[in-house]
Amino acid sequence: MAEPPEEHYFSADPSVPFRRTSVAATVWGHELELASGSGVFAQGRVDIGTAVLFRETDPPAGGRILDLGCGYGVIGLAIAAAAGDAVVTGVDVNERALLLANENAATLGLADRFSATTPSGVPADATFDELWSNPPIRIGKAALHELLLTWLPRLVPGGRAVLVVGKNLGADSLQRWLGEQGYQTERIASAKGFRVLQTRRP
């Protein structure tokens, strides 16, 4: 029996047939009309964790922002819409997600300040003021740690990351682990079984 489409969201080339599904979201006072699709995380909706992230935070003031595991682009595009000085890079391994994210940026008129690419498409010397993510916890702890240790060092000194993680998916242990890696991390919100963590590069 085939896995449900959601299970494929962190694969590079989802095997499920591609169907677009529209998503309407109001984030930080901005109306976003987005397209999601089968084989992409949170098809047809804004998932609960991301909704908590939006409700419990204010958008960055601007700067260079990394949307890590961007999916169809909702976090990065919300930031680009709310922060006129933000330049956002979305990163994902799912080619279908990247296609949707870049389509959504064009539809919203944000393609000049939002672009989505594979990890290898990010210049090696690129740095970021902030990293925002609903990270792909289900890839497993080792892979998640490797992912974070790949991208957190791309923050400028003093730069911050804002992460939303399910409490039952190890948010508290992740907070401790980040501290052990030298990234001072605090919980800035907790709602609906999710923690919003803020971590800073030394």
Residue that the structure tokens 């309407």 belong to: 24
Q: What is the pLDDT of residue 145?
A: 96
Q: What is the pLDDT of residue 193?
A: 94
Q: What is the pLDDT of residue 9?
A: 43
Asked whether the predicted pLDDT for residue 14 surpasses 90, the reply is: no
Asked whether the predicted pLDDT for residue 10 surpasses 50, the reply is: no
Contact 73, 90 (CB under 8 A): yes
Measure the CA–CA gap between 192 and 83, rounded to whole angstroms.
Answer: 27
Confidence of residue 15 (pLDDT cuts 50, 70, 90): low
Contact 56, 33 (CB under 8 A): no
Q: What is the pLDDT of residue 137?
A: 85
Q: What is the pLDDT of residue 27?
A: 96
Predicted TM-score (pTM) above 0.75: yes
3 state SS of 147: helix
Angle at 176 between CA 50 and CA 90, to 5 degrees: 35
Measure the CA–CA gap between 16 and 54, rounded to whole angstroms.
Answer: 29
Contact 162, 154 (CB under 8 A): no
The mean predicted confidence, pLDDT, of the chain is: 89
> What tokens were used for 1?
């029996």
Nearest of 184, 188, 168 to residue 176 by alpha carbon: 184
Helix axes 74-82, 48-56, angle to 10 degrees: 20
Contact 32, 77 (CB under 8 A): yes
Asked whether the predicted pLDDT for residue 93 surpasses 70, the reply is: yes
Contact 73, 105 (CB under 8 A): yes
Q: What is the pLDDT of residue 2?
A: 37
Beta pairing partners, 115: 89
**Mind listing the pLDDT tens digit for each residue in 70-85?**
999 999 999 999 999 9
